[in-house]
A and B are shown apart, each in its own frame.
Chain A
Amino acid sequence: QKEVEQDPGPLSVPEGAIVSLNCTYSNSAFQYFMWYRQYSRKGPELLMYTYSSGNKEDGRFTAQVDKSSKYISLFIRDSQPSDSATYLCAMSPNAGGTSYGKLTFGQGTILTVHP
């Protein structure tokens, strides 16, 4: 079993739709949760960063973390064609120790928003 599971998709939605992206994980030590967006042939761009459980909103993006279920989500409201990209979830354990700062990534979900 992979430490982080993410449905690779592809996911295709019409413009204006609400997109829901999800990851599950097995390592209870993960405390920091991130979502990255990666356009084709480019490096990942940090979208959202969350520490521990809860919700965080930034414009059209909302990140949710449910540590009890080991489940994180990213919601995109009013999706736009420019949101078409691969979305990667990433996680990291507490600071300290040899795992400090190392990210474990999901496989990435390919999203296409069509006009």
Chain B
Amino acid sequence: GAVVSQHPSRVICKSGTSVKIECRSLDFQATTMFWYRQFPKKSLMLMATSNEGSKATYEQGVEKDKFLINHASLTLSTLTVTSAHPEDSSFYICSARAGLAGPQETQYFGPGTRLLVL
């Protein structure tokens, strides 16, 4: 149980284009999903907290107009990197909090999406 999927797993795009990444909780409902960014050999940096049916809460220094988050249902959140540039190249990981399905504070992570902007 507690499986989180991400799609796509890898994407290469040209500078200036927008990329959408999907995060799905497959066997539980997630009222809250989180989006992280991870650089090589570095820890996870929380970008934003996504609550179903409301606006996302962004961490300090994260541009909300650059990283658009939509949490349309209890099983799906999307992250759109708008007008991507090479410095946006990174490993993006989502997580979903299990809520009533497990310990309240437990987050289950997706497999990540590797973005390369040329």
Chain A residues within 8 Å of B, Cβ to Cβ: 8, 32, 34, 36, 41-46, 49, 51, 88, 92, 95, 98, 101-103, 105-108, 110
Contact = CB atoms under 8 A, between A and B. Distances in A.
Interface stretch (B12-20, B66-74, B77-85, B100-108): B100-108
Given A101-B32, A101-B97, A44 B44 contact: yes
Interface residues of B, number: 27
Interface of B: 2, 4, 6, 32, 34, 41-44, 46, 49, 57, 91, 93, 95, 97, 103-112, 114
A101 B107 contact: yes
A34 B106 contact: yes
Contacts of B6: 43
Which 10 A-B pairs have CB atoms at the shortest separation, nearest pair first? A43-B109, A32-B105, A105-B43, A43-B111, A43-B112, A44-B109, A92-B105, A107-B43, A43-B93, A43-B110
Contacts of A44: 44, 93, 109
Nearest to A42: B111
A49 B106 contact: yes
Nearest to B106: A49
A101 B43 contact: no
A36 B109 contact: yes
Given A102-B46, A107-B43, 10 more contacts: A32-B105, A34-B105, A43-B109, A43-B111, A49-B103, A51-B105, A101-B49, A101-B104, A102-B34, A103-B34
Contact of B105 (A8, A43, A95, A105): A95
A110 B40 CA distance: 12
B101 to A, nearest CB: 13
